[in-house]
Amino acid sequence: MTEKRSIYLDHAASTPTDPAVVEAMLPYFTETYGNASGLHSQARGSARAIEQARQQVADILGCAPQEIVFTGCGSEGDNIAIRGVAWAQKRAGRGQHVITSPIEHHAVDHTINDLCESFGFEQTVVPVDDMGMVNPDDVAAAIRPDTVLISIMYANNEVGTIQPIADIGALARERGIPFHTDAVQAAGYEPLDVKVLNVDLLAISGHKIYAPKGIGILYVRQQTPLTAPFTGGGHENKRRPGTENVPYIVGIARALELVQAKAGVENKRQAALRDQLIAGVLRTIPNSHLTGHPARRLPNNASFAIAGCDADGMLMHLDLAGIQAASGSACTTGMPEPSHVLTAMGIPRDLALGALRLSLGRQTTAGDIETVLDTLPSIIKKIRQLNPAYEAAPV
């Protein structure tokens, strides 16, 4: 009997490390392992590898290598950017007002909440429409004389909506306000030229782009006011202390090169599969809704709200059928809470509890999509049959 293929549709949560990335990293575990701050030849080998990686990343982002900071993850990059700029601006007496959106990852929104609760900052959260889009006019209208930072994500992790980053960046630049974007989900698919995007700070995470977990990149434009939140040695241009993780730095630079080089072909291939998946789900499952923007969405994101279903039930049944997926909502101590992203988009609570995110990747095949389309409708039917409220009034 041949073993059933496991179908991994959770690439927005994490990707497998590309073997070419592992290969690039390997010499830096056992051959070139010196502390890059040292003066001997082992150390110089590590320092050279870091500077080469920094140049590779800078070439992709269209910036100077000294504007690249290697971090521990996407969350850390967001924290250094947001806390660092907010504190520097406050210290310089420029104000303490921050603008953001209601659909940010917790790495951003919890950080801004903390600035407000613990450090006296104020925030304006501009709305999103029912497709999860921020309107740049709303950002412009929210700007005050004491606004010191704008933070709007490039692409959303739950529904895949891609924001008009260059437009928001242009209006921030005009007014001299630093603009940060969380590009963790976008980096694997979208262009990253920081001059085209008009961003001052941009965060990337390794494990979303086929590099390992525990490494990230933060772009900080020269002249951006930033007080490093961590203290220690002067590593990473005094932005992020700590002995550099050389193999992982080499790995994320290689991964970024590969993912951006493959984007031309992979974006088209994955978008075609995604569209097939979306059309199939909407056709075969009554009362299922696409969440996020129908066109301006990541090529690998198919996200839905399925009426009459709880997310955990769907995920459990899918997993039993060999399909690994995710929901948009976090469940704490058995009390399901709808996703803040979906509720900000105006999706009613009950419907938001039926969130299902299928995120494709390099190894996703047309056969995988067919299997999902063959499997999902009967799972949904089974769950709904056990939901008396839905059976009584299906919506």
**Binding ligand PLP by CB under 6 A: which of 184, 305, 325, 372?**
184
80 touches ligand PLP (CB under 6 A): no
**Binding ligand PLP by CB under 6 A: which of 134, 153, 177, 220?**
153
**Binding ligand PLP by CB under 6 A: which of 17, 46, 56, 75?**
75
Burial class (CB in 10 A: 0-12, 13-18, 19+), 6: exposed
**Residue pair 140/171 in contact by the 8 Å Cβ criterion:** yes
**Binding ligand PLP by CB under 6 A: which of 84, 212, 216, 292?**
216
Nearest to 368 by CA among 324, 315, 316, 304: 324
Nearest to 373 by CA among 254, 288, 250: 288
Q: How far is the CB of 13 from ligand PLP (least distance, A)?
A: 6
Residues 103-132 that bind ligand PLP (CB under 6 A): 105, 107
Mask of contacts with ligand PLP, 255-284, x by CB under 6 A? ------------------------------
Question: What residues contact 171, with CB distance under 8 A and at least 6 apart?
Answer: 136, 139, 140, 143
Place of tokens 């965060």: 203
Q: Candidates 73-81, 119-127, 251-259, 298-306 — which segment interacts with ligand PLP by CB under 6 A?
A: 73-81
Q: How far is the CB of 331 from ligand PLP (least distance, A)?
A: 16
The two three-digit tokens of residue 274, written as one number? 């995604």
Q: How far is the CB of 228 from ligand PLP (least distance, A)?
A: 18
**Residue pair 62/194 in contact by the 8 Å Cβ criterion:** yes
354 touches ligand PLP (CB under 6 A): no
Q: How far is the CB of 301 from ligand PLP (least distance, A)?
A: 11
Alpha carbon distance, N-terminus to C-terminus of the chain: 42
Q: Candidates 72-80, 120-128, 282-290, 306-314 — which segment interacts with ligand PLP by CB under 6 A?
A: 72-80
Q: Candidates 92-100, 113-121, 144-152, 177-185 — which segment interacts with ligand PLP by CB under 6 A?
A: 177-185
**Binding ligand PLP by CB under 6 A: which of 73, 250, 277, 379?**
73
- CB nearer to ligand PLP: give 199 or 383: 199
Give DSSP secondary structure letters for 254-282: HHHHHHHHHHHHHHHHHHHHHHHHHHHHH
Count CB atoms within 10 A of the CB of residue 381: 12
Task: Compute the half-sphere exposure of residue 8: CA atoms within 13 Å on the CB side of its CA.
Answer: 9
State the Cα–Cα distance between residues 226 and 246, nearest whole angstrom: 24
Q: Is the dihedral of CA 10, 248, 201, 120 positive or negative?
A: positive
199 touches ligand PLP (CB under 6 A): no
Q: How far is the CB of 79 from ligand PLP (least distance, A)?
A: 9
Catalytic, 309? Answer no
327 touches ligand PLP (CB under 6 A): no
State the Cα–Cα distance between residues 390 and 376, nearest whole angstrom: 18
Per annotation, catalytic residue among 73, 116, 309, 331: 331
> In DSSP terms, which residues pair with 331 in a beta bridge?
336
**Binding ligand PLP by CB under 6 A: which of 101, 157, 161, 359?**
157
Give DSSP secondary structure letters for 270-333: HHHHHHHHHHHHHHHSTTEEE-S-SSSB-TTEEEEEETT--HHHHHHHHHHTTEE-B-S--EET
- CB nearer to ligand PLP: give 216 or 280: 216
359 touches ligand PLP (CB under 6 A): no
> In DSSP terms, which residues pair with 181 in a beta bridge?
202
Kindly state the DSSP code that residue 93 receives in the 8-state scheme: T
- CB nearer to ligand PLP: give 34 or 212: 212
Q: Candidates 71-79, 139-147, 225-233, 363-371 — which segment interacts with ligand PLP by CB under 6 A?
A: 71-79
Q: Candidates 19-27, 70-78, 112-120, 224-232 — which segment interacts with ligand PLP by CB under 6 A?
A: 70-78
Residues with catalytic function: 331
Residues that bind ligand PLP (CB under 6 A): 73-75, 105, 107, 153, 157, 182, 184-185, 205, 207, 216
